[in-house]
Structure 1
Amino acid sequence: MIMPEVKILSRLQSIDALRGLVIVIMLLDHVRETFYLNKQVSDPMNILETEPALFGSRALAHICAPVFVLLTGLSAYLYQMKNTVASTRNFLFKRGLFLILLELTLVNFAWTAKFPPDVIYLQVIWAIGISMVVLALCVGLPRKALLAVGLLIIFGHNLLDQITFRGIPALEQIWFVLHERGWIESTAVRIRTSYPVLPWFGVIFVGYALGYFFESRFSAVARQRYLLVLGMISIALFLGLRSINIYGDQPWVQYDSWGMTAMSFFNLTKYPPSLFFILWNIGLGLILLVALEHLSHFKGFKPLVIFGSVPMFFYILHLYVLKLLYVMGIELFGPNQGDYFSVDSVSALWLITVFLIILLYPVVAWFSRYKHQNKHIAWLKYF
């Protein structure tokens, strides 16, 4: 009777650990967006103007959103394993709406420091929230059907890149939400669709379908083998299709320098996420998930689990801490790089990130402990 509980605990902790790992990587990227705005990067990055260290740090952060969305779908399946379809649908729908509300209020204010806002950015929390709402509407459909639709979206959505609805305002605004990054204008507020959501629907459907391998019919060894193979297939597809250079993202360029060529090869489109962006990062995510399950007794495993156990709490907390630190920097030292207060190197960004991990860990650990000791408090489930 004990062993199944240990196995379940191990597999769930590996999910939290992976979420915690990408949270730490996300922190590095948001430190960059706070203290390195004098060297902003485009999407995809201009490799002729971006130093390799900055390119690498930004490319590393690409894993965050795909893994977040994939694990959201996977977690939805695990939730459904212990609950009814109706209660799963209800939880996903309410949680999705809650995330959308957070994006429009606390998260947007953390980035803009304006209330009421004149600009609203629909970013990753919005994308996860609306993806959860869509998945809630689809829960109960055959798993294989959701998997097929998810793969169709992932592999086919780049065929839609040339479609535009210029001159048809109603359709254009819907298209900005679904597939093309743009601005939705109104008299009261401007809305930036930073994360067009259609490809993310595909990712959450695939994540949901992967929950099948977490059923009791699969041993830990079998599950890990399947996930590892799927991760390797995803990366192999990326490398093979990317080498052909025909479809799936902007073409890469071969330079005289192998380093520049490599940067071009991995210079992938995130907004919206291209086929290659998804294949590469989901493949890495699945391999890391398996690796973390094997490393569950490693000393550094527990902090990752704690960070990943309360992802929304950490997300909001770190945004406001970064905003406070930036305001303090401006007040104490003033702008030192044009209009911005910035550090002078990518290594400084990494040092700030390490400092923030150490600073925030006790607070996150306290909230994680409070959450798990008070499971009867309904609202804590949303964090």
Structure 2
Amino acid sequence: MPSNSTVSYRLQSIDMLRGLVILIMIIDHIRETFYLHLQLSDPIDISSTEPALYFSRFIAHLCAPVFIFLTGLSAYLYGQKHSNKYHISKYLLVRGLFLVILEITVINFAWTFQFPPHKIFLQVIWAIGLSMIALSALLWLQKSLLLLTGIVIIAGHNLLDSIHFSPHSVFYIPWAISHDRCWVTLNNFMASRTSYPVLPWIGVICVGYYCGQWFNKSYSPRQRHRNLIITSISLLGLFTGLRTINIYGDKSWHYGNTTVETIMSFLNITKYPPSLLFLLITLGTGLFLLWTLERKQHFSILKYLAVFGSVPLFFYIIHLYSLKIMYLSAEYLLGKNKGEYFGFDHVWQLWGCWLFLVLLLYPCVKWFSNYKATHKHLSWLTYL
């Protein structure tokens, strides 16, 4: 039997990776707040986007896939404490519904500050919630069949890209939720955008749940490290091969006028919904980072990542409200210097704002992380 310290060591790397990706996510949310005057397409138009802004956006691609993968992995580990599958399934269902409601209410308000809202953006928390609901049913499958289901969804969903339905079709809303990012008119006053079509993310959470067994007590660190690095190299190798031949998995790339433009085109992948190539490079990179954190987590500076990763939803919510307040304050004090918006002039200002926000919120996050750790008897804390 592993000791408690071994178990903590085994799981701390997960919190570190979760903390890392949510910190990266903030830079993209700052971009979406203070660069409203320069919105980016999906995939990005590299002819009109400076490299600094492009790569600031590109690294943020890592966040949603890794976070949803870790959600599946964590669901498996949660199941190790509760051998009754019914209990696990019920937990995923209830938690998933909670996240969906949270997205529509608390989180959407943080983006819009409108009540009642005119627009509802169904984003990553919505996708995680629906994925958890799907996993609550799919986890009853045999592990090998669950893995196969996840792989087939991830590898095959781009075959559905050409399928679209008109707003008058009975299939329009189900398809918008599943695979086709679009607007859904709810009434004369309100519309909703399915920013994160959920089908590919269901594949990701299934694969994450299967990989959770690598963090089981029966796995030695050596076995786990071997699985992580082999899978990482395989996914990144498959991405490179498929991207090079330009046949399937995303929109084609092309040679640019400079080496940087060529690299930007090669890496210019589609997030909404996430293409096969998008998921290969992000999950491959995420597993490589997890392998690295497993081996280097004794570095003291990485402990700060674990603090953010221990309460990700709490941090996600407070950083959105902090960003909105910062933006409204800047707009009030400095005016709308970018037409309809207040905005930054340079990418370095995004990163400066990122550093300020992280330092500002860390004490609050640290306090709540300690509170959660010392009040495990409070069941409502499991939802944050």
TM-score when scaled to structure 1?
A: 0.98
Map of 1:260 onto structure 2 = 261
Matched residue type, 1:198: L
Structure 2 gap segments, 5+ residues each: none
Please tell me whether the aligned partners of residues 14 and 293 of structure 1 are also in contact (alpha carbons under 8 angstroms): yes
Map of 1:328 onto structure 2 = 329
Q: Deviations over 1:109-139 (max 9, x none)?
A: 0111101112111000000000001101122
Matched residue type, 2:14: I
User: How large is the RMSD of aligned CA atoms in angstroms?
Assistant: 1.0
Matches within 5 A, 1:289-300: 289-300=290-301
Please tell me whether the aligned partners of residues 96 and 128 of structure 1 are also in contact (alpha carbons under 8 angstroms): yes
Map of 1:42 onto structure 2 = 41
SS of 2:41's equivalent?
A: coil
Please tell me whether the aligned partners of residues 107 and 316 of structure 1 are also in contact (alpha carbons under 8 angstroms): yes
Map of 2:116 onto structure 1 = 116
Amino-acid identity (%): 52
Matches within 5 A, 1:1-383: 3-83=2-82, 84-166=84-166, 168-187=168-187, 188-383=189-384
Q: Could you tell me how far 1:167 is from its partner in structure 2?
A: 6.1
Rounded to whole Å, the distance in 1 between the matches of 2:288 and 2:344 is 34
Please tell me whether the aligned partners of residues 7 and 220 of structure 1 are also in contact (alpha carbons under 8 angstroms): no
Structure 1 residues 162-171 or 272-281, which shifts more? 162-171
Please tell me whether the aligned partners of residues 231 and 286 of structure 1 are also in contact (alpha carbons under 8 angstroms): yes
- What count of residue pairs does the alignment treat as equivalent? 382
Rounded to whole Å, the distance in 2 between the matches of 1:224 and 1:361 is 30
Rounded to whole Å, the distance in 1 between the matches of 2:30 and 2:10 is 31
Q: Could you tell me how far 1:296 is from its partner in structure 2?
A: 1.5
Q: Could you tell me how far 1:344 is from its partner in structure 2?
A: 1.2
SS of 1:101's equivalent?
A: helix
Q: Could you tell me how far 1:7 is from its partner in structure 2?
A: 1.9
Q: Deviations over 1:29-84 (max 9, x none)?
A: 11111111122111110000000000000000000000010000000000111112
Structure 1 residues 63-72 or 28-37, which shifts more? 28-37
Rounded to whole Å, the distance in 2 between the matches of 1:282 and 1:259 is 23
Rounded to whole Å, the distance in 2 between the matches of 1:114 and 1:190 is 13
Rounded to whole Å, the distance in 2 between the matches of 1:56 and 1:131 is 28
Q: Deviations over 1:81-119 (max 9, x none)?
A: 111211111111111011001100010001111011121
SS of 2:77's equivalent?
A: helix
Matched residue type, 2:172: E
SS of 1:194's equivalent?
A: coil
Rounded to whole Å, the distance in 2 between the matches of 1:225 and 1:308 is 24
Rounded to whole Å, the distance in 1 between the matches of 2:302 and 2:310 is 12
SS of 1:37's equivalent?
A: coil
Q: Deviations over 1:328-362 (max 9, x none)?
A: 00111111111111111111111110111111000
Rounded to whole Å, the distance in 1 between the matches of 2:202 and 2:299 is 34
SS of 2:61's equivalent?
A: helix
Rounded to whole Å, the distance in 1 between the matches of 2:167 and 2:334 is 47
Please tell me whether the aligned partners of residues 44 and 268 of structure 1 are also in contact (alpha carbons under 8 angstroms): yes
Task: Give structure 1 regions of 4+ aligned residues with deviation exceeding 6 angstroms.
Answer: none
Q: Could you tell me how far 1:166 is from its partner in structure 2?
A: 2.3
Please tell me whether the aligned partners of residues 7 and 217 of structure 2 are also in contact (alpha carbons under 8 angstroms): no
SS of 1:327's equivalent?
A: helix
SS of 1:300's equivalent?
A: helix
Q: Deviations over 1:134-170 (max 9, x none)?
A: 1011223211111000000000000000011226522
Rounded to whole Å, the distance in 2 between the matches of 1:47 and 1:255 is 9
Q: Could you tell me how far 1:4 is from its partner in structure 2?
A: 2.9
Structure 1 gap segments, 5+ residues each: none
Rounded to whole Å, the distance in 1 between the matches of 2:68 and 2:76 is 13
SS of 2:285's equivalent?
A: helix
Q: Could you tell me how far 1:306 is from its partner in structure 2?
A: 0.5
Matched residue type, 1:118: H
Structure 1 residues 277-286 or 254-263, which shifts more? 254-263
Q: Could you tell me how far 1:217 is from its partner in structure 2?
A: 2.5
Rounded to whole Å, the distance in 2 between the matches of 1:350 and 1:317 is 19
Q: Deviations over 1:154-213 (max 9, x none)?
A: 000000000112265220111111001011112242110000000000000000010121
SS of 1:191's equivalent?
A: strand
Rounded to whole Å, the distance in 2 between the matches of 1:11 and 1:342 is 43
